[in-house]
Amino acid sequence: MHPVKLVILGRDGVLNVYREDHVKAPEEWIPVHGALEAVARLNHAGWHTVVATNQAGIGRGMIDMASVNAVHAHMNRQLMALGGRIDAVFFCPHTPEEGCDCRKPLPGMLQDIALRYGADLSAVPMVGDTLRDLQAAAAAGCPPHLVLTGRAAALDEATLAQHVAQVPAARVHRDLPAFADWLLNKDHIADSGAGALGA
């Protein structure tokens, strides 16, 4: 039996345009250019994609579960139109003040995904747009990847270097399509070293 080929993705800033005021309704969920096509390409190559997302807006009363489900149904409809799919969405509904163990940068959510899929996290890339995502990946044992979309798009070179220095195994990619290129071609690309710009 072959192990499942699994990729964990952040949501806001990776798949969709990040909003400071949270995505509260389907019409506010706007895909990052090329991101949904990248998911479809990964799916077609046999990779399962799962989302792991902090959603403190739930804990703050800014969005209810019906709205969260409507947003994710909208996301999946857009993906289906391109031949892609997200297998599951794992989310932390808590505020930072609640001290849960599932909110990134803690690894609880990623560990839950590993249990659900029987996956060895050392073979499961985690893609995010924040230092918090990289730290969660490292804490869970996932290979950490940063895409320069969402919140990471605003990083200057010095701050980006600081992020990579804090999580030395991190690889940096221009966006999710560039990550997909790297993953699908990694067997044919010489390893350029930890922290190298992936694409």
Percent of the chain exceeding pLDDT 70 equals: 92
The pLDDT value recorded for residue 4 is: 86
Q: How far apart are CA 142 and CA 107, in angstroms?
A: 10
Residue 197, pLDDT above cutoff 60: no
Arithmetic mean of pLDDT, 110-139: 97
Residue 1, pLDDT above cutoff 70: no
The pLDDT value recorded for residue 2 is: 63
Residue 191, pLDDT above cutoff 60: no
Instruction: Pick 6-188's CATH classification: 3.75.10.20, 3.40.50.300, 3.40.190.80, 3.40.50.1000.
Output: 3.40.50.1000
User: Which residues make Cβ contacts (< 8 Å) with residue 179, sequence separation at least 6?
Assistant: 38, 125, 127, 145, 147, 173, 198, 199
Q: Which residues pair with 50 in a beta bridge?
A: 8, 88
Contact criterion met (CB below 8 Å) for 74 and 113: no
Arithmetic mean of pLDDT, 22-48: 96
Q: What are the tens digits of pLDDT across the range 66-124?
A: 999 999 999 999 999 999 999 999 999 999 999 999 999 999 999 999 999 999 999 99
SS3 labels along the chain: CCCCCEEEECCECCCECCCCCCCCCHHHCCECCCHHHHHHHHHHCCCEEEEEEECHHHHCCCCCHHHHHHHHHHHHHHHHHCCCCCCEEEEECCCHHHCCCCCCCCCHHHHHHHHHHCCCHHHCCEEECCHHHHHHHHHHCCCEEEECCHHHHHCCHHHHHHHHHHCCCCEEECCHHHHHHHHHHHHHCCCCCCCCECC
The pLDDT value recorded for residue 118 is: 94
Q: 163, 53, 152: which is closest to 109 by C-alpha?
A: 53
Q: What are the tens digits of pLDDT across the range 167-181?
A: 999 999 999 999 999
User: Which residues make Cβ contacts (< 8 Å) with residue 149, sequence separation at least 6?
Assistant: 13, 14, 32, 35, 129, 175, 176
Q: How far apart are CA 194 and CA 171, in angstroms?
A: 6
Q: Does pTM top 0.95 for this prediction?
A: no
Residue 38, pLDDT above cutoff 60: yes
Q: How far apart are CA 85 and CA 7, in angstroms?
A: 12
Q: 14, 31, 19: which is closest to 180 by C-alpha?
A: 14
Q: And the tokens for 109?
A: 């959510």
